[in-house]
Chains A and B, each alone.
Chain A
């Protein structure tokens, strides 16, 4: 009998690996293009660490437009990529890729947090 935590950790490792592969693809296909474009270059959000703009762009493409507009009108809009501008400068494939990458990454991260909470509550130990 395989322990529950082993299965969860295995799934988490697999998901993380896939997230990282999607991250590289999205960076090379979409973000590289936006970084070179002088219209979008300065609107990719705050880069806390090198490469964080990739996550900003993915978020802008993945959020529903109503959410993105709320962010753009906020005082903290400078932290995020400007969604309305990015939507004009990307094609449908970019948007689908961004959406898949972003939500899969969020799912992976939330799964990781869930494992921590379940483990903390003692529900994963036999």
Chain B
């Protein structure tokens, strides 16, 4: 029993909360797709990190934390990249980081949903992040997409609040490659 105790202690968090996963940045991508004059206008956040505690069989005990370096946004158009750093948009200097913290994870149909709080440009909003889970070798991939309203986060202030030129909905798409920590 004395010999088993440390082993049990090691296993306990695993049994209760699933395994810890770390993101592999090389295989991961975080995209946001805005609309510009009724055209999709895609961008990416080049720097972000996700930490996950997850057991696909028992998602309830898990957690998901994502941090995003907002200034790593790239919309692939030099003039646009120059604009989005400003106070009316992402306000890089005021709010350099965005984050998502889950309050609970649960199964949803064939996939999962992480419910939690997204903090972006200093605003907190409850969001639901649906994702699929695929295991390959010693790693796993979570993928999903959801839609945000940029107005909820004060992105696009003043005359940019109008949604006829720059649409109100922004689709967020992610593919996160994970390795067991």
Physical interaction between A and B: no
Q: Which B residues contact A (CB, under 8 angstroms)?
A: none
